[in-house]
Amino acid sequence: NAGVMQNPRHLVRRRGQEARLRCSPMKGHSHVYWYRQLPEEGLKFMVYLQKENIIDESGMPKERFSAEFPKEGPSILRIQQVVRGDSAAYFCASSPHPARQPQETQYFGPGTRLLVL
């Protein structure tokens, strides 16, 4: 059973370009979380999705950032018109349905390091 997959592992963009980060959850997991981590800091919650539905996006900036988790395919975190301050590690985590398996936790992918030049 493959773990959570994220790609690309490293992404370099120039200011004003778009960044697309992909996350494939573990098999059988229906929920995906996205976090941002700045150097030497903790994880900041961004958004929490289940398939075709955003459950909580309270941590996501209102502009330029969007996330989706379609019925088929990976979850996508999209950052439009990137700025230098978007440079960070973006982690995805997946879990089974928490209400059905509350004892289960989220499992993390290896992260995508975004560098904006």
Partner 1 sequence: AQTVTQSQPEMSVQEAETVTLSCTYDTSESDYYLFWYKQPPSRQMILVIRQEAYKQQNATENRFSVNFQKAAKSFSLKISDSQLGDAAMYFCAYRSDETGTYKYIFGTGTRLKVLA
Q: Which residues bind partner 1 (CB under 8 A)?
A: 31, 33, 35, 37, 41-45, 48, 55-56, 89, 91, 93, 95, 98-99, 102-103, 105-108, 110-111
State both tokens at 66: 């969007």
How far apart, in whole angstroms, are the C-alpha atoms of residue 24 and residue 38? 22
Closest to partner 1 by CB, 17 or 50: 50
Distance CA 46, CA 50 (A): 14
Nearer to partner 1 by C-beta: 18 or 56?
A: 56
CB of 3 to partner 1, least distance (A): 9
Q: State in angstroms the smallest separation of the CB of 67 from partner 1.
A: 14
Amino acid at 15: R
**From the CB of 49, what's the least distance to partner 1, in Å?**
12
Task: Give how far Cα 100 sits from Cα of 53, 94, 95, Å.
Answer: 17, 14, 11
Min CB(16)–partner 1 separation in Å? 27
What's the token pair of residue 16? 């004003």
